[in-house]
Amino acid sequence: MDLTSNNTALGLLTDLYELTMLQAYWHEGMNDTATFSLFYREMPAQRNVILACGQEYAARLVSQLHFPSRQVNRLKALELFEDGFLQWLQDFRFSGDIHCLPEGTPVFPQEPLLEITAPLMEAQLLESLLMNVVHLETVLASKALRMVLAADGRPVVDFGMRRMHGSDAALRGVRAYRAAGLAGTSNVLGGLQHGLPLRGTMAHSYIQAHDSEMAALRTYARLYPGTTLLVDTYDSRAGVEKVIRLVRDEGLDVGAIRLDSGDLSQQAKDARRQLDAAGLQPIRILVSGGLDEYRIAGLLADGAPIDGFGVGTSMGASSDAPTLDLAYKLTDYADHPRLKNSPGKQLYPGRKQVWRQTDGQGHYQQDRITAREEPADGEPLLQPVIRDGEPCRDAPDLSITRDNVARHLEKLPNVLLSLDPAQSGYPVAFSERLHTLRETVLRELEG
């Protein structure tokens, strides 16, 4: 839809220093081949798994990125850039290579989600935008996965768009949610764009706008056979009784009831008893209202007879871990491995590959990070997506992404799928060759 095509004009969604550095490189004639790696440094305390999402989308966006003359003219007005450099920007088309983890791959600290190899100026230009694009979906998919895990097979539906951080978060968030295994979304435009089924019930305001709760519920059930009716606007027990009357006495087709406030566990138990006593076992009970993974798990541990969850605010902003320390670092320039010597930050130079290694039972037992062309056991995860500026594999279908998530989760240690912090993270080792390379570069820096 229009928002996607428009994104290709987002080149100026960047930090000013990218452009001033670029002009310096342009002056110095520094435009040899560079490799930058996009990775995160530390697992957030509230997460055991991060799902890499958005990196293939970002790579494709980059391959189409351009700077409309209108935007270049606005830069010119800053009186910071020379005409020759602005012309370079206006002519910009990405010409490099991008390797990515397939969308939805669980990714651990230090592992590249994406590596870009391109003339230095091109690769540098893309830093801020790439990070912004990948960060959003990776953060949201990783949070949503926890809802899916907590719900233990019951459907989880996204109700969060109203408190997500703007329209882009709300729209691409749905993409991340589909990857993470959500069953549906209330977000119409997001669901249509990304193929996640649309779900919805009714708001309390709908009931309030009517003089009678009964009339409001009746109209809805007539209009939308199999719909979900919200029963707790005034009193949930009385609301459930009204639903029973509509179904038994008036023959209407109601699929589910929704509870949205108060003691959800107790209300769900009461409602289930009322419905069962009326012979309405097939009517499901959905709950919403301030839910997160811990409340979902708590409700189920409490034996609440809940058939599905609508989750909004805390998932939509990934409230307990709203950011990830994603970094984009130069690791190679002009065929020399590069490294920033930061105390406490263990960075490794050069182009890399990530190998996911399996034990005899088919379970993942560790990842091994090697130099790009170094052989190793296991499944090589980084795949070429853009070559010489052009996509070299099909755009990721979200159903394939979703399958990719499921396939990886099945083989990961179970402890990582718990909501509680794992005692130790998934093992990630660097190859001897990378260790040696790192030592060599560090010695050169000191020399």
Q: How far apart are CA 108 and CA 386, in angstroms?
A: 23
Contact 367, 108 (CB under 8 A): yes
Question: End-to-end distance of the chain based on CA atoms, in angstroms?
Answer: 54
Nearer to its own copies, 157 or 381 (CB): 157
Q: How far is the CB of 276 from its own copies (least distance, A)?
A: 26
Q: Which stretch binds its own copies (CB under 8 A): 106-114, 142-150, 155-163, 276-284?
A: 155-163
Q: How far is the CB of 49 from its own copies (least distance, A)?
A: 19
Q: How far is the CB of 409 from its own copies (least distance, A)?
A: 25
Query: Taking CB under 8 A as the criterion, which residues in 233-262 touch its own copies?
Result: 233-234, 261-262
Q: How far is the CB of 356 from its own copies (least distance, A)?
A: 27
Q: How far is the CB of 221 from its own copies (least distance, A)?
A: 10
Q: How far is the CB of 173 from its own copies (least distance, A)?
A: 8
Q: How far apart are CA 120 and CA 52, in angstroms?
A: 25
186 binds its own copies (CB under 8 A): yes
Q: Which stretch binds its own copies (CB under 8 A): 89-97, 120-128, 400-408, 423-431?
A: 120-128
Nearer to its own copies, 330 or 381 (CB): 330
Q: How far is the CB of 364 from its own copies (least distance, A)?
A: 28
Query: Taking CB under 8 A as the criterion, which residues in 282-321 touch its own copies?
Result: 313-314, 316-319
Q: How far is the CB of 164 from its own copies (least distance, A)?
A: 7
214 binds its own copies (CB under 8 A): no
169 binds its own copies (CB under 8 A): yes
352 binds its own copies (CB under 8 A): no
445 binds its own copies (CB under 8 A): yes
Half-sphere exposure of 269 (CA within 13 A, CB side): 9
Q: How far apart are CA 381 and CA 55, in angstroms?
A: 13
Query: Taking CB under 8 A as the criterion, which residues in 191-210 touch its own copies?
Result: 191-192, 198-206, 208-210
Q: Tokens in use for 274?
A: 């009322």
Phi-psi sector, 363: left (phi>0), alpha (psi -120 to 50), beta: beta
Phi-psi sector, 204: left (phi>0), alpha (psi -120 to 50), beta: alpha
Cross-sheet strand order for the sheet of 184-185: 184-185, 156-158, 308-311, 284-288, 254-259, 227-230
224 binds its own copies (CB under 8 A): yes
Sole residue written with tokens 């987002």:
10
Pick the closest to residue 138 from 64, 43, 45 (CA basis).
Answer: 43
Q: Which stretch binds its own copies (CB under 8 A): 12-20, 100-108, 410-418, 430-438?
A: 12-20
Nearer to its own copies, 43 or 381 (CB): 43
Contact 431, 368 (CB under 8 A): yes
Query: Taking CB under 8 A as the criterion, which residues in 17-36 touch its own copies?
Result: 17-21, 23-25, 27-28, 30, 34, 36
Angle, CA of 243, 244 and 247, to the nearest 5°? 85
The correct pick among 44, 190, 350, 396 for binding its own copies (CB under 8 A) is 190
Sole residue written with tokens 């990783």:
142
Q: Tokens in use for 168?
A: 């882009």
